[in-house]
Amino acid sequence: MAKQKNEWFDWIKALLIAFGLAFIVRMFFFAPIVVDGPSMLPTLQDQDQMIVNKFIYQISEPNRFDIVVFHASDQKDFIKRVIGLPGEHIAVEDNILYVDGNEVEEPFLNDLKENRKSYQMLTNDFTLEQLPGNHQTIPEGHVLVLGDNRSNSTDSRALGVISIDQVVGKASLIYWPLDRIRLVGE
């Protein structure tokens, strides 16, 4: 009888440790997210299920073109691509991204640019000064984010620059649906 009691205690202890480790990993390192909407097409599809690396920005800063998840409000997280970094001036003119006046290629938009009609704008022209906040350069501790589907995305053009404190983490992996399993942003 005592041996059976010890076995139960060992099982309960093992389960508690497993749940505790899972909680710590989920809380501090990785989290699942489901893409909601078309704003990151064609890179991410509506209902793609992804893993977000919550730890990466504790040890490094976001890089240009990272795909990040951030708190857009208390109830809603958004997933967008980092376009502008602290200290930079951002502008888009005739579907060309300019960082500090220099043209920057956006290879993830090549398919969209090739498949649009000649009269369609991929990204409406804007400068950083025209966005909410009226900044001359992106302030320290902030980034400018845009969706890949520029004609259908609520991003920094409407929200202004995003505080790094709002960023949950970097979208790292699509794990569902199975035919779309891949690393993203690489």
Which residues are known to be catalytic? 39, 80
Task: State how far the alpha carbon of 154 is from the alpha carbons of 70, 82, 160, 179, in Å.
Answer: 13, 14, 10, 28
Residues contacting residue 47 through CB under 8 Å, at least 6 positions apart: 34, 35, 36
CB 37 within 8 A of CB 56: no
CB 174 within 8 A of CB 180: yes
Tokens of 55: 């730890």
3-state secondary structure of 30: strand
The Cα 137–Cα 125 span in angstroms is 17
